[in-house]
């Protein structure tokens, strides 16, 4: 293989690449996905109980509830609207406070409690909301609670969903640049028969494929870093982070080259990605569901790069901690490279190239 | 043969050709089956229950008091002997196991037939709490995974218990329960993630079919296969009808196969099939537009994405509780997704979803007509 020729082909791809919609995907999708997953679906996996309050006076209960941790409080304009929203499960619970509610509680008049819960709300949310409401109302009374309660944290703090989503987002960035780009570029050249034209020049087929992979790799690394930066997950161990991203980029790029050389056309690449996407993205799902048996994730080849990435960016692991994972990743990459080489040989024979 | 019979025969021949093309592509056939198998497999490994109770470990609580604490179904109370054990369980250094006779054993390894109880929080009551709660403080122990609202609520539960022990009444009057339930009470009978995902899976299969169909159309236009067909007695309307039928049949077939594999045809299989059929027709219309607009596969993929992203939004919004925003309800796929949710998950009947079926039918007609016009113009122009 001639490095100069590889560089020439790669430079051509980088120069002409931005004309292709795939390049736009590479640049835009990780950002878009960060936005969609973190903003929209963070609340799907980790929802907060939702409480609506109609306050006919200016009750202190409303202020206390608005300041309560972990509860979404929405002030509603009428009592009827509270009921409608609860009935439709747009709220988990709704509280209606009379105009002189605070005074009645302070006077010991025990006003009726108008607390509604949605039929579809979960038992735990009902308990959380009703106890929180009651606690807020108790604070209107002059006497203190008869007991002192200390909340004590035990063990490590858990990871929020935003952090558990990081592997999925980074994997997607790597997949788009590392897998899609080389695979589509190779298949596109083949479909438009420009590959036939290229291999009659001194450039060898293996060099063309390597150049396509190089372009994917060159974009996968910065896009993975940008995605980690967008998610505030760059961590503090830069040598380990760069090492793991390079290895991850290498694995994904090799997979992309493999898809490119075995597909007859772009439709073939698409169907391959459609069919094996779950294998490539599978490990990321297990970070979202820590209760699932985690050993299953280790069966996926991409686990051995995405887990180190997670451990470096979230748990600040060092290169030494990840040596075992890197060894498995190297074996996976070697197997894929053998597949790419076989694919190139087969493609060469089909193109009639030497 | 009369004119009508002749047209049907021509359309049938083109449909058969298109379906044959699908089948001849071994990779496509293999991957289609693979995707269906993987989706069905993923469906069956997803959790089919909803954990809607909060499990707490308690020390220093008598059995009757523990039972009373768990009475409303929101709390699963696990009695533990010592604070040390409770702390170790929450910290994952020890495990709590529930034996078949419903007793709880604290050990590292599970006793025979026991299942693990996931305890991430607990309350340590001092010995004299139930005689004089003012003399000592109560510790609420929580792991890092416990959300803030649950920590606050647990502290509130302890304070309410202390108020009850001290004989101080509630500051409000509540006739029976503390709250009134509005709507059908599904406590203990929640819709699981697996059930919620059923319509989404079906819709994903249909959308994937849209990509395949648009690619086929784009390829036929680029290769001028369409023009080759048009030099035969086939009219352009026959080709368009055949494309619509082939896409619909293929999408419908795959979606129904998946529904069978995940046992989700619902109590009214015909009604489910009706929604799937209309959905398949709708995505065929969008495939015609995407296939006509894109010059090559990547182009059609892009145009397909333009349709896919908004069409997917109602499918994801179905995973969230409550009413979707008005703009989501205005999207063509909304009545389709809601209809599938109602029929498959909530076991609605024909009368319940007639409006949604009508709405999705109208959208289907609009999109299919648009697809027909766009594809016709494209074929005529090339």
More confident residue, B53 or B158: B158
Q: Which of B56, B120, B133, B156 to mutate to test the interface with A (most CBs of A within 10 A)?
A: B156
| A19 interfaces chain B, CB cutoff of 8 Å | no
Q: What is the arithmetic mean of pLDDT over B30-59?
A: 81
Mean pLDDT of the B120-149 span: 84
Lowest-confidence pick of A214-218, B25-29, B68-72, B208-212 = B25-29
Reading phi first (left if > 0) and then psi (alpha if -120 to 50, else beta), residue B236 is in: alpha
Distance to chain A for B7, nearest Cα, Å: 31
How high does pLDDT run on average in chain B? 83
Can you name the residues that pair with A73 across neighbouring β-strands? A51
Distance to chain B for A129, nearest Cα, Å: 8
pLDDT in tens, B244-273: 888 888 889 999 999 999 888 888 899 999
What is the mean pLDDT of the segment spanning B131-155? 84
For every residue of A261-274, DSSP letters joined together read HH-SSHHHHHHHHH
Domain ranges within chain B, ordered by starting residue: 3-47+192-381, 54-166
Would you put residue B52 in left (φ > 0), alpha (ψ -120 to 50) or beta? alpha
Identity of the residue in B133, B299, B301 whose CB atom sits nearest the CB atom of A270: B301
Which 42-61 residues of chain A touch chain B by CB within 8 A? 43-44, 46-49
d(Cα B218, Cα B201) in Å, to the nearest integer? 26
Q: Residues A280, A297: contact at Cβ < 8 Å?
A: no
Q: Identify each DSSP E strand in chain B by its residue range.
A: 54-59, 75-79, 95-98, 104-107, 115-117, 121-124, 137-143, 180-182
| Neighbouring C-beta atoms of residue A234, cutoff 10 Å | 14
Helices (H), B46-77: 63-69
Tell me the pLDDT of chain A (354 aa) as tens digits.
788 888 888 888 888 777 777 777 777 777 777 766 665 555 555 578 899 999 998 899 999 999 998 899 999 999 999 999 999 888 999 999 999 999 999 888 889 989 999 988 888 888 899 999 999 998 888 777 778 888 888 776 666 666 777 777 788 888 888 998 899 889 888 888 888 888 778 888 899 999 999 999 999 999 888 888 877 777 777 888 889 999 999 999 999 999 999 988 877 887 788 778 777 878 877 877 766 777 888 888 989 998 898 888 777 888 888 899 999 999 999 999 999 999 999 988 877 644
CA pair distance A181, A187, nearest whole angstrom: 10
Average pLDDT over residues B25-44: 76
In chain B, % of residues over pLDDT 90: 11
Partnered with residue B203 across adjacent β-strands are none
The Cβ of residue B339 has, within 10 Å, a number of other Cβ atoms equal to: 28
A100 touches chain B (CB under 8 A): no
Prediction pTM value: 0.67
What pLDDT score does A124 carry?
84
Sort out which chain A residues have CB atoms less than 8 A from B148's CB and list them.
69-70
Residue B96: beta bridge partners? B106, B117
Q: Tokens for B254?
A: 């795959």
Residue A270: predicted pLDDT:
77
Question: If you measure CA to CA, which chain B residue comes closest to A149?
Answer: B138
* Alpha carbon distance A111, B101 (integer Å): 45
User: Higher pLDDT residue, A134 or B7?
Assistant: A134
- The answer to whether A71 contacts chain B (CB < 8 Å) is yes
- Predicted pLDDT at B224: 79
Please state, in angstroms and rounded to a whole number, the distance separating the CA atoms of residues B142 and B150: 9
- Angle B350-381/B193-222 helices, nearest 10 degrees? 20
- Report how far residue A224's alpha carbon sits from residue B57's, in angstroms, rounded to the nearest whole number: 42
The answer to whether the beta carbons of residues A301 and A258 sit under 8 Å apart is no
C-alpha–C-alpha distance, residues A249 and A243, integer Å: 10
Residues of chain A contacting B160 with CB distance shorter than 8 Å:
131, 134-135
Residues of A in contact with B299 (CB under 8 A): 21
Q: How many angstroms separate the CA atoms of B91 and B221, rounded?
A: 64
What angle in degrees, to the nearest 10, is found between the helix axes of B297-317 and B269-293? 140
The domains of chain A, with CATH numbers, are 3-42+160-351 (no CATH), 48-138 (3.40.190.10)
All residues at 6 or more sequence positions from A309 whose CB lies less than 8 Å from its CB, including other chains? A167, A170, A224, A244, A245, A248
Report pLDDT for A198. Answer: 80
Residues 156-175 of A with CB under 8 A from B: 156-158
Which among B24, B123, B153, B323 is the top mutation candidate for probing chain A, defined by the most A β-carbons within 10 Å of its own β-carbon? B153
Using a CB-CB distance cutoff of 8 angstroms, which residues of chain B are in contact with residue A46? 147
CA atoms of B179 and A117, how far apart (whole Å):
7
Smallest CA–CA distance from B173 into chain A, residue: A112
Question: B112 Cβ partners below 8 Å, 6+ apart?
Answer: none
Residue B5 is predicted with a pLDDT of: 61
Q: Residues B194, B46: contact at Cβ < 8 Å? A: yes
The answer to whether residue A119 neighbours chain B at the CB level (below 8 Å) is yes
DSSP states of B202-269: HHHHHHHHHHHHHHHHHHHHHTTHHHHHHTTT--HHHHHHHHHHHHHHHHHHHHHHHHHHTT-S-S-H
Confidence at residue A182, expressed as pLDDT on a 0 to 100 scale:
92
* Min distance A309 CA to chain B CA atoms (Å): 22
CA A330 to chain B, closest CA, distance in angstroms equals: 27
Closest residue to A135, CB basis, from B156, B181, B321: B156
Which residue in B31, B53, B74 is closest to A275 by CB distance?
Answer: B31
Burial class (CB in 10 A: 0-12, 13-18, 19+), B270: exposed
């Amino acid at each position: 293989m001639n490095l100069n020729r590889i560089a020439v082909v790669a430079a051509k791809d980088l120069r002409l690449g931005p004309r292709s919609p795939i390049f736009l995907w590479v640049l835009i999708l990780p950002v878009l996905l960060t936005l969609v997953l973190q903003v929209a679906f963070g609340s799907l996996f980790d929802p907060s109980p939702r409480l609506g309050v109609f306050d006919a006076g200016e009750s202190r209960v409303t202020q206390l509830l608005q300041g309560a941790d972990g509860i979404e409080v929405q002030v509603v304009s009428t009592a009827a609207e509270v009921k409608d929203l609860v009935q439709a499960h747009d709220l988990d619970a709704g509280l209606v406070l009379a105009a002189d509610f605070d005074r009645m509680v302070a006077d010991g008049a025990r006003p009726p409690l108008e607390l509604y819960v949605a039929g579809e709300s979960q038992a735990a949310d009902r308990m959380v909301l009703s106890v929180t409401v009651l606690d807020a109302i108790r604070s209107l009374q002059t006497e203190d609670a008869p007991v002192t309660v200390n909340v004590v944290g035990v063990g490590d703090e858990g990871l929020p969903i935003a952090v558990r989503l990081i592997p999925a987002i980074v994997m997607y960035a790597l997949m788009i640049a590392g897998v899609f780009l080389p695979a589509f570029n190779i298949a596109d050249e083949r479909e438009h028969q420009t590959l036939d034209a290229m291999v009659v020049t001194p450039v060898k087929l293996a060099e063309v494929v390597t150049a396509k992979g190089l372009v994917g790799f060159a974009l996968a690394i910065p896009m993975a870093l940008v995605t980690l930066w967008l998610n505030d997950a760059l961590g503090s161990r830069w040598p380990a982070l760069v090492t793991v991203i390079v290895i991850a980029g290498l694995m994904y790029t090799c997979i992309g080259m493999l898809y490119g050389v075995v597909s007859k056309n772009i439709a073939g690449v698409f169907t391959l990605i459609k069919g094996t996407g779950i294998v490539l993205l599978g490990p990321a799902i297990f970070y979202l569901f820590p209760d699932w048996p985690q050993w299953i994730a280790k069966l996926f080849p991409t686990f051995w790069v995405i887990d180190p990435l997670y451990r470096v960016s979230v748990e600040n692991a060092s290169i030494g901690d990840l040596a075992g994972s890197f060894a498995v990743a190297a074996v996976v990459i070697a197997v894929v490279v053998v597949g790419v080489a076989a694919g190139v040989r087969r493609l060469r024979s089909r193109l009639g190239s030497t | 043969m009369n004119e009508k019979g002749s047209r049907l025969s021509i359309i049938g021949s083109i449909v058969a050709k298109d379906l044959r093309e699908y089948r001849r592509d071994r990779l496509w056939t293999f991957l289609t089956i693979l995707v269906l198998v993987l989706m069905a497999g993923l469906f069956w490994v997803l959790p089919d229950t909803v954990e809607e109770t909060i499990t707490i470990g308690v020390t220093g609580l008598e059995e009757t008091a523990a039972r009373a604490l768990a009475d409303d179904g929101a709390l699963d109370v696990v009695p533990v002997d010592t604070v040390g054990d409770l702390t170790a369980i929450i910290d994952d250094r020890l495990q709590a196991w529930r034996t078949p006779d419903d007793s709880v054993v604290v050990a590292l390894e599970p006793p025979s037939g026991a299942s693990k109880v996931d305890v991430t929080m607990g309350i340590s009551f001092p010995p004299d709490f139930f005689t004089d709660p003012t003399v000592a403080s109560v510790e609420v122990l929580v792991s890092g995974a416990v959300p803030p609202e649950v920590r606050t609520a647990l502290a509130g539960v302890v304070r309410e218990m202390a108020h009850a022990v001290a004989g101080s009444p509630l500051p409000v009057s509540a006739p029976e329960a503390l709250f009134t339930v509005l709507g059908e009470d599904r406590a203990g009978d929640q819709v699981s993630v697996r059930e919620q995902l059923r319509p989404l899976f079906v819709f994903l299969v249909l959308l994937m079919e849209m990509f395949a169909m648009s690619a086929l159309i784009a390829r036929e236009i680029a290769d001028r296969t369409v023009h080759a067909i048009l030099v035969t007695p086939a009219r352009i309307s026959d080709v368009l009808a055949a494309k619509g039928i082939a896409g619909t049949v293929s999408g419908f077939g795959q979606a129904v196969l998946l529904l069978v594999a995940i046992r989700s045809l619902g109590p009214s299989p015909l009604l489910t099939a009706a929604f799937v059929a209309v959905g398949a027709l709708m995505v065929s219309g969008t495939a015609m537009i995407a296939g006509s607009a894109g010059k090559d596969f990547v182009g059609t993929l892009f145009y397909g994405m333009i349709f896919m992203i908004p069409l997917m939004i109602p499918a994801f919004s179905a995973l969230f509780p409550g009413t979707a925003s008005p703009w989501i309800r205005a999207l063509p796929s909304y009545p389709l997704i809601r209809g599938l949710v109602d029929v498959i998950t909530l076991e609605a009947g024909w009368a319940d979803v007639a409006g949604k079926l009508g709405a999705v039918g109208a959208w289907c007609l609009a999109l299919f007509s648009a697809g027909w016009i766009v594809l016709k113009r494209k074929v005529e122009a090339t």
